[in-house]
Structure formats: structure tokens, C-alpha cells
Structure 1
Amino acid sequence: MMNPSLNLMDLEELTSNAKQIQEDVLEEILTLNANTEYLHRFLHGSSDKVLFKKNVPVVTYDDVKPYIERVANGEPSDVISGGPITMFLRSTGTSGGKQKVFPVNDKYIEKLGYVIALRSLAMSKHFDSGGEQGKAMEFHCTKPPSETPSGLPRDEVVRVGAAFAFVLVRAIDFLEKHWKELCSNIRSGHVSEWITDLEGRNAVSTILRGPDPILADVIEQECSHKSWEGIITRLWPKAKYIDCIITGQMAQYIPMLEFYSNKLPIVSTTYGSSESTFGMNMDPLCKPQDTSYTCAPNISYFEFLPVDHKGDMASIVDLVDVKLGCYYEPVVTNYFGLHRYLIGDILQVTGFYNNTPQFRFVHRKNVVLSVRSEITTEEDILKALNHVGLVLESSDLMLMGFTCYADISTFPGHYVFYWELKAKDVQDVFELEEKVMVKCCSLLEESFDEVYRKNRSKDECIGPLEIRVVQQGTFDSLMEYFISQGGSIAQYKTPICINSSEALAVLENKVLARFFSEKSPPLDS
């Protein structure tokens, strides 16, 4: 629910006074944490802001990991934080190849709640008080993963969402596989015996309240269509928009969500990470590909390292000093033990909301493919996939999941993409047409930059791009592998690039067919 004490004037004041608010945030953090073991090494108990920027180094996770582990293993919180650490957040490890653990305290919940309230304010300008006039149906997953009916009356749902686009697509896929059983449960008023979790059974039984054959018939009528195009709006006819993170690597799911939702607006409302919540989307009706986030200056202390810094940490700038169009990596100082911490995201400044900058998420740092001298980023890969979208659409196919890696076991080395495909018509069993898949290989190559095309066509030091089509359900298996390593399904993001031999083995065991580009890309694409 939206915090009733917040209004649009608060939002205007917050974004108009970003510089002073950031100064106040840093002062508060330093006053709280100056005597922690970590900060005392650099500040000797001082909370001076100039000294902070001069003496406290910019760090990565490996630098602070020993301190975090000490607190996690039972040492006092004041090793890193002036306030008590009340919980730890664990990353999935899909981006950097290893899991990270981050300390948080009650301030984290307070700040997160504030951003959610701001988000509701922004949404209220476009969607009837942010959808609060009805119900929001969100798919949340815990570890171990489970799927349960939401229990919301279908004619009251005005917003359908999940933390990440992947989770929502997976929920729809689960419904597609189990809708007949769901209808049977609703028709009989009894939960299937294979659902053994007692609390889950009791919760669903309370919602069912007995047989409901009319609702079961309605759901059956919609789900038994040959095509599931628009299934979200057919099952929840009052839904106004889709709410999930759709930027970065989640952008690959935009075509699927547009297909399933009859092109409802897809709103990526918030940008954040385990290290800090960052900001919110002030223009929710923009195209998903154009999403930018307005920084919330009272959440953490934000600095920005230019991407082209060449090792010069003196080039770091404050939040209000970033330049339009430039690329930066955020450096975060939060309330619970991280000081001048490199997030690992690359952002571009797209504009300003009053005096507060707006950023678009570009890609994760160091998520690249490279065989020789070329550097193909996450953003390059996603743009290339957009170019093959029309080919797949004309063949009535949807790309349900993908990942890739640079295979240097061959000579010359080459890019390998793993694709999981699905027919748009759920009752169709599709056959892979070689000419279609070969064309997709060629289009991907043509979409890459000049350095790649030169290495591929002229110097012949990169081999033909390969697409390996895998069985349906393969990317569920990949997710299960990463979750088995200790991650949470709620945070899971299919890695754009894979470098884990164990994860590659999961994919290789599911390969159905292999296709290669048959011609070198033109140098002048």
C-alpha cells in the first residue's frame, strides 16, 4: 500500500534537493559507522566527508568479503556496521559466477518501503493510484521453489507482476502445463494430493471454500484455446499493466510478455540490488526498451565512476555531477556496512527529473563474449537477438530462453548460443527448419560490431556462429542447477554468458540440433 504520508510534493522536493540530501545521507552514514572496525582503519573515528573521499578506497566484493564473513560467523556487527545486522541477502551468483552475501539491517526495510511508496506515487499519475483501486497479483518464489494459486478473485486483479520477467514467464509456463489439474481442483473444491505442504494446502483450501464449477469452466474455456496469445487479459480481464523488471538481460522476455498479455504496458518500476535500492521509473508508459530510473537520493550515498576512467579513481563524481549521455558504474555507500562499493552495473545518464539524474541500465560489467580482440557486451547480444525476432515471429516461434559462450576449444574459436524455442500455438509440435535457423545465425553475426565482423570475415580468426537448440524445459533445469548451489529463485536471472563447466554440461545434455552461419557477415553492416 502507498504510504499515506507521502504525496507528489514530497517527490518534487526530494528530486529538487538531491545535492543537499546526498550530503545529509553521507553525514548520517559516517556518524553511524565511523567507529566500526572497517572504517576506523581509514578515518580513525572521524566522520569528515572530505577525509572519507580522500582515504576510503573504492572496493569490490573480494575486498569486503572477509569482514562480512566474520559477522556472518558470529562476530559483532560493529566489524562493519554501527547498527545491528539483522539479516544477510544472498545473490544467485549467475552474473559473476559466484554467490555473494550482503549484510542489511532494519534501515534496509525502511528504505525499501520508502522507494515502494515513491513508486506508487509515480504510478498513480498514470494508473488510477498505482492500481490500488483493485488487487495486485504477484508471483513470489521462495527457496525451495513452490507454485501455488494466488487466491485472488480474477475480476479484481488490475496488475499482474513478479520481481523479474523470467519469474512471470515461468509462472505462465507452469499454468500452461497444469491448467487442467487447476481446473479439476477448482471444480471439485479439493487440492491435488501431490501438493503436500500443509500450510500451502490449508491456505488454498481456505480460498477454495468448496467446489466452483462455473469458475473452472471459465478458466478451461480460455486455456483450451489453440493459442495462448492474450492469456493474461483473458484470465484477468481488468488487468491494466504488467509489473516486473524488464531491463538488462530481462529484455529477452519482452516479446513473450507482449504475446501473453495482448501488449499490455510492461512497467519496470524499480531498479535495485542487494547492495542498495537505487530508484524508480517515473515514466511507466514508455516502451520497455526505453526504461530509465530516477535515482532516490535519500536511500544511499551514490558516487559514479566513469566507464573510461582508465584506473583514475579521482575521476569519480557525485550524483548531481554526472553528465548527460555518459556511462558510469555506481559506487555505493549504504547504511549497513558497504562503503564506496562498486556495484558492477553499467548505467547511462538519460536525463534529469528536476535536479536528480535518470539512468538506463546498460549491462553488467564484464559480461562479455570475446574470442580474439573483439568485445561483445550484454547489450550487443540483446540488440542482436532483437534483429532475429522477426524471423522467429514469421515462423510462429518464441524464444523462451537463451545463453551463450565463446567456445575456444575449436580453431578458430566461435560464439555458441543455446536457444530454447516454443511454438506460439500450444497444440503445435514445431519442426526446426534449417534455412530459418541458419538465417538466424547469419543475422546475429551481422548485428555485431565492426571488430567482430572484421575478425570473422577478413582475418578469419573467429569461426562461424553456432546456435544449439535445446529441449523445452532446459532453462528450467539450468535454473534448478543454480538454485541447488544455494541461490533463490526469486532473484534468479538466466546468465547472458556462461562460463561454468557444470552449467554448460546441463545445456549440452539437452541439445536437439546444431546450426551454423553459412556465410561471413559483410564488413559494412
Structure 2
Amino acid sequence: MDGEKLEYKGEEALKELERLTSNAGEIQEEILKRILEQNRDTEYLNKYIDDWSAKIVSKFKKNVPVITYKEIRPYIVRIANGEGSSLITGHPITEFSGTSEGEPKLMPSIAEDHDRRTFLYNLITPLINQYVMGLDEGKAMYLYFVKAESSTPCGLPVRTVLTSYYRSRHFQHRPHDIFNDFTSPNATILCYDSNQSMYCQLLAGILHRRKVIRLGAVFASALLRAISFLERHWRDFCLDIRAGKLGAAIDDPECRYAMSDVLDRPYPDLADEIEQICCETTSWKGIICRLWPNAKFIEAVVTGSMSQYVPALRYYSDEKVPLICTMYASSECYLGVNLRPLCDHSEVCFTLLPNMGYFEFIAIPTGENGMFSVEEEKDEIKLVELVNVKLGCYYELVVTTFSGLNRYRIGDVLQVTGFEKKAPSFRFICRRNVVLSIDNDKTSEEDLHRSITVATKKLLEPRHTFLLEYTSYADTSSVPGHYVIYWEINGTPHPDAQLLKECCIAVEEGLDYVYRRCRTNDKSVGPLEIRIVKKGTFEKLMDLFIAQAGASINQYKTPRCVKSQAALNLLNANVTASYFSPRDPAWTA
């Protein structure tokens, strides 16, 4: 990382963290200078800075505009087609990271980005170790997965940022000290078959059940998928453990070879234990504690859309094991850490580390009721520097990175919750304009509206049936979760069942790339459901919201996603029929 030390451990890591937070303003200015010096010969920056002899920081702040992906995309396309990285960055672009929103946005990545990610990961264990004792006494059962990869026309890899990290030397050749002793062999993490990967990783965790002192996954949703997988396959696990070898269903050669070191002989007593635990009751309440009795905490992202999974996780852990959310990261940039990891999930906040990139913020106004609005700006955008944000205020995050993003709007809405020395801490509020999310999918109101409009024009209107109103919600009551769309349509009787199933799949195929990947390849999102409601239901919904908010009819707009339990109760009480997508939507890697 430009000569900076990476391998901070223990007390040394905490001292470095104190230095970063104590000098956040100065470090931010130095980071910006380094980014500009590294990228001074790029075509993009030279559009806005015509003289690099002096005051380049002030010129950057005055002249370089705030952008979205739309503005940087032409440069990305040119690089993807074979032009040089110097269009946007002074270091060679080694790969692109695909984002988790919309059609795949390609975020440029350079080799030293892995250094910064490793730096942040190395802070996590020392932070947790301040609050949880005995982390050196056992193993970590972390369920990590890779996604399908592709390449640009010129051959640069396109991967998710986590797939990239797991494939890197930083992860593959990490020091196997007491804090990196994972139950999952690397080969099982790198297996592209998600079912075989899940099977092997869970089996390895069960084989080490008495040694597991911490467990987790990147997202809370992945842990619930693991519990659901375990419910379906625990008998197979018992057979393999009793036999001392993997069954024929696992045919990935690298997985089989790696697991032969873990499942090295029959363990009949362990098979008996697992069988007794899994079949002794019809309720799986507290199953995590029963299978891994020495677990001290569960680590996963439980903020934003992932907070919907907290009740289920607490049910399966019997509320005895703390849920820890440690870090804040995106495809564009790794950002910060949770300095108080044992806090309640509703109080999780992240301190942005000033050496990760250069951070600025767009202030989001709040009304008299204290609620914020994310309407598009009508006036010139004014940016606030990291150390100048105000307590309690809402902001949209803007990043400048070494890899060539300059004043790029990530789209995350944050609220300032406090300060650690000079570095502010933020609560993640939401992703701008996202209304539905189950796993990695992030569906905007615009995407949802477009897909429904196309489906109804193609399938309903030719049959003289019209959509009067609609709303939606993300149903996570089962695993995997799925989108539910409530439709009020004109005419009786309703269109036949086959037509409405066709509407389901048409809506899905109109949604974005990431949603279709989650449905088809990852199987982390279930089939979309359309629920037909009685005529007049949306008038009742309007009455409910107006009564709750004290607003007028003139102010009311039907919400395109509902989360209020009262609203969901009203909608569900008026459902007359329900239809699911009959197949997976079309998807290609």
C-alpha cells in the first residue's frame, strides 16, 4: 500500500487505528494528494486540471464534478475494450468488480486495492478481542462463497469484490495463525457450485463443532440459507460422517481432495450426536447453540436490508450468541469498521477509515418531522468533507479512489451518529432509491415499475385487462426469501392462472442482472409471487396511510414497497388469488 505497513496485529493494530482516527483530517488531505499524484497523467483528470504545478487539491475540489456511473461508463467501456488504464488511473487495472445493483456496473480495481482490503480485515479481530475473550482457543466457521466470473472483451476478469478477494494471494496465503484458523478448506470456498460448496463447508464446520468459537457469513441471509440447507441435508451429513468419506453427490475433485483431510476416518459417535440434535425436536429454535455449543458470537452484515433477517437469526441462536457486524464495504471502496462490535444490531455504526480513500458527502435535507428526502437535487451539489459532517445529519457518500473513481456517488445514505477522535461514525440508512432486496439484489422503484409496465402491456392489456394499482414487499418469512407484488386489476373474472404465472416470469425477466443471477444461479432468491387483491383494496390502503400520517389525499402517493405490518395485514386480508413464477428467469454470466 505505497510502502505503508500492512500486517498490523493485536495492540499494534489498535494503535494504528487510534492514529488514523486522531488525525482523520490530515490523513484525508494526504490521501487525496497521493491519489491525484498517482493519477495526474490520466485523461479524465486532465479534463479538469490543466496545471499540475501547484494547488492541485484545491483545483480538484473546485473543478472535478460529482458523477454517477453514467459519466464514468464511457471510460470503463474503452478500457474493457482494450484501451489503457491511464484513461482513469496511473496504475494498471487488473480486473473489474461487478456491483450488486442493476445491470452489472464495472468498478475498476488495481493490485494495491487488495492491500487496503487486507489492512481493514486485519483490524477486525483485535477490535473484537477487546470484548470477547478466548478467540485463540478454537476455530472460525465462516461460510464464504464465490460467484460466477466473466471477462471483458480485452480479457480483464470481471468478479464480485469478494470473489476477487478470496481468490487473491492475500486470502489464499494468509498467515494461519490463531485468528485465521478456518474450518472451511480454501478449495471448498472457491468451488463455483454453491450447493457443493455449502455442503462441504457445513460438513467441515460440523466435524469441528466442539472447536468452533465463532461463526458467520458475509450477509445474514447466507446464514439462514445455511440453516435451511442443514435442515434438508443433515441426514446426508450423518451418513458421510459415519462412513468417513463424502458421498457421490460431491463430485468436485478439489472439494473431495480438500475434505479428505477433514473427514479422514469414520466418526460414528459424532454422527450419533448430530442425529440426536437434529431429530430430537420439531423446532429448530437454538439449533446453532446446540450444534456449535462453544460459539461466542455470530458475525454477519445485519444492517440495511439485512436487518430483516435478525429475528430469524436470533431464533436459531436462541438469543444466547451475540450478532456482530464488523465492517462497511462496497464494490467501489472498502470504507470502515464497527468500533463497538457487541452493540445491538439497531445501533450498529461504522467509523470511516481515512486511509481507505477520499470521502466527501452530499447533505440530505430533513423536514420538520426529522425525516429525510432523497429527491434529486435541483441546485448545485455542495460537498462536505469527512471531518466537517454534523452530528445527526443525513448524507450521501461520495468517494475518490486510487483506482480511478473521482467524486463518485456510491448511493449509500448515512446518518452521523458520533465521532471517534476526529473521525465521524455513521449509521447505514439505505441505498438510494432501492425498494426491494433479499440478498445481493437491490431493486429500485424505477426497475420495478419498468418491469411491471412491460409485463402488463405485453400480457394483460391485449386481453382487455388493466393493472389499476400495485405495491410490493420482500417476504423473508421463508428461505430463500422472495418478492411479493400485490396487483389490483380491473375486470372479472380474473385472467386464468397460466396467464398470471406468465406475468410473474415476465416481471422477473424485466428485473436487473443481479436479481436474475440470484434467482437462477445463486438460488438465494425464490420465485416471484403476484397476489391479486379485491377491487378497492388500494383505496383502503390509502385511507390507512393517510390516517397514520395525518396527510391529505393530495399528498398521498401509493408506496411501491410496504413494510408496515398494518399495511401488510390489510393487503393480505384482501388477497383473492396467488401465483408464482413457474421457472427461473433467463440469465447468463
Structures share fold, TM-score greater than 0.5? yes
Q: Is the 8 A contact 2:79 2:85 kept in 1?
A: yes
Judged with a 3 Å threshold, the aligned counterparts in structure 2 of structure 1 residues 493 and 202 are, in CA distance, closer, same or farther, namely closer
1:28 aligns with 2:34: yes
Corresponding residue for residue 39 of structure 1: 45
**Residue correspondence of structure 1 range 280-299 to structure 2 within 5 A:** 280-299=337-356
Decide whether aligned partners of structure 1 residues 132 and 293 sit closer, same or farther in structure 2, where only a CA change above 3 A counts.
farther
Q: Which residue of 2 aligns with 1:331?
A: 398
- Residue 141 of structure 2 is aligned to residue 123 of structure 1: no
Is the counterpart of residue 110 in structure 1 residue 115 in structure 2? Answer: yes
Q: 1:333 to 1:326 in 2, by over 3 A?
A: same
Q: SS state of the match for residue 414, structure 1?
A: strand
Cα separation, 2, equivalents of 1:114 and 1:266: 23
CA contact (8 A) 2:103 2:512 kept: no
1:305 corresponds in structure 2 to 362
**Is 1:223 aligned to 2:229, yes or no?**
no
For 2:385, the equivalent position in structure 1 comes to: 318
Structure 2 residue aligned with 1:393? none
Distance 2:240 2:532 in 1: 38
C-alpha contact (below 8 Å) 1:325/1:349 kept by paired residues = yes
Matched letter for residue 409 of structure 2: L
Q: What fraction of aligned residue pairs are identical, expressed as a percent?
A: 39
The 5-angstrom pairing of residues 181-192 of structure 1 reads 181-192=236-247
| Correspondent of 2:106 among 101, 108, 119 | 101
Higher mean alpha-carbon deviation, 321-330 vs 98-107, is at 98-107
Structure 1 window deviating more from structure 2 (306-315 vs 271-280): it is 306-315
1:507 equivalenced with 2:528 (yes/no): yes
Q: Is the 8 A contact 1:186 1:208 kept in 2?
A: yes
Contact kept, 8 Å, 1:2 with 1:116, in 2: the verdict is no
Query: Which residue is 1:431 aligned to?
Result: none
Q: Is the 8 A contact 1:303 1:332 kept in 2?
A: yes
Alignment pair present for 1:65 and 2:69: no
Q: Which amino acid aligns with 2:271?
A: A
Change (3 A) 1:481 1:176: farther
Distance 1:417 1:234 in 2: 33
Q: Please say which of residues 308-317 and 233-242 is displaced more in the overlay.
A: 308-317
Given that 1:2 and 1:120 are in contact with CA atoms closer than 8 Å, whether structure 2 keeps it comes out as no
* Structure 2 counterpart of 1:147, one-letter code: M
- 1:260 equivalent in alignment to 2:316: yes
Deviates more, 1:83-92 or 1:29-38: 83-92
Quick one: which amino acid aligns to residue 98 of structure 1? E
Q: How many residues align?
A: 434
Cα distance change, pair 178–482 in 1 and its aligned pair in 2 (3 A): farther
Partner of residue 198 from structure 2, selected from 131, 147, 153: 147
Cα deviation for residue 340 of structure 1 reads 0.4
Tell me which amino acid in the other structure corresponds to 1:141. Answer: F
Secondary structure in 2 matching 1:207: coil
Check 1:40–1:490 CA distance in 2 against 1; reply closer, same or farther (3 A cut). Answer: farther
Select between 484-493 and 68-77 the one with higher mean Cα deviation: 484-493
Q: Which amino acid aligns with 1:27?
A: K
Secondary structure of the residue that 1:348 maps to in structure 2? Answer: strand
CA positional deviation for 1:166: 1.0
Superposition deviation, residue 513 in structure 1: 8.5
Q: Answer whether contact 2:9 2:126 (CA < 8 A) is retained.
A: no
Q: Distance in 1 between matches of 2:12 and 2:519?
A: 32
Q: CA deviation at 1:215?
A: 0.9
State the Cα distance separating 1:488 from its structure 2 match. 11
Of 54, 58, 80, the residue aligned with 2:62 is 54
* Uncovered stretches (5+) of structure 2, i.e. residues with no partner: 1-6, 148-191, 366-375, 457-465, 480-484, 487-500, 549-589
1:9 aligned residue: 15
Cα deviation, 1:74-95, whole Å, max 9, x if unaligned, reads 2222121111212221123xx3
Q: CA deviation at 1:412?
A: 4.5
Unaligned 5+ segments in structure 1 are 369-377, 383-400, 424-440, 445-470, 495-502
Distance 1:187 1:103 in 2: 48
Q: Partner amino acid for 1:51? A: K
RMSD between superposed Cα atoms in Å: 3.6
- Deviations, residues 27-70 of structure 1 (Å, cap 9, x unaligned): 11000001111111111362710000111111101111121222
Please show how residues 73-472 of structure 1 align to structure 2 within 5 Å: 73-92=81-100, 95=101, 97-128=102-133, 131-143=135-147, 144=192, 145=194, 146-150=197-201, 151-152=204-205, 153-224=208-279, 225-263=281-319, 264-308=321-365, 310-368=377-435, 412-417=468-473, 419=475, 421-422=477-478
CA displacement 1:90-120 (0-9 Å, x = unmatched):
123xx3x221111111221111111112222
Aligned to 2:573: none
Q: How far did 1:484 drift?
A: 8.8
Q: 1:491 to 1:24 in 2, by over 3 A?
A: farther
Structure 1 counterpart SS, 2:96: strand
Larger relative contact order (Cα-Cα within 8 Å, sequence gap ≥ 6): 1
Mark the CA change 1:290 to 1:21 in structure 2 (over 3 Å): closer, same or farther.
same
* TM superposition shift of 1:127: 1.3
Cα distance in 1 for partners of 2:478, 2:378 equals: 45
Distance 1:481 1:141, change over 3 A: farther
Shift of 1:123: 1.2
SS in 2 for 1:192: coil
What TM-score, normalized by structure 1, do the two folds share?
A: 0.74
Deviation at 1:491, TM superposition (A): 10
* Amino acid in the other structure paired with 1:287: D
Distance 1:173 1:420 in 2: 13
SS in 1 for 2:200: coil
Q: CA deviation at 1:191?
A: 1.0
Maintained 8 Å contact 1:155/1:238: yes
**Per-residue CA shift, 1:375-412, capped at 9, x if unaligned?**
xxx7xx99xxxxxxxxxxxxxxxxxx999967786665
Matched residue of 1:229: which SS? Answer: coil
Give the letter aligned to residue 127 of structure 2.
Answer: A
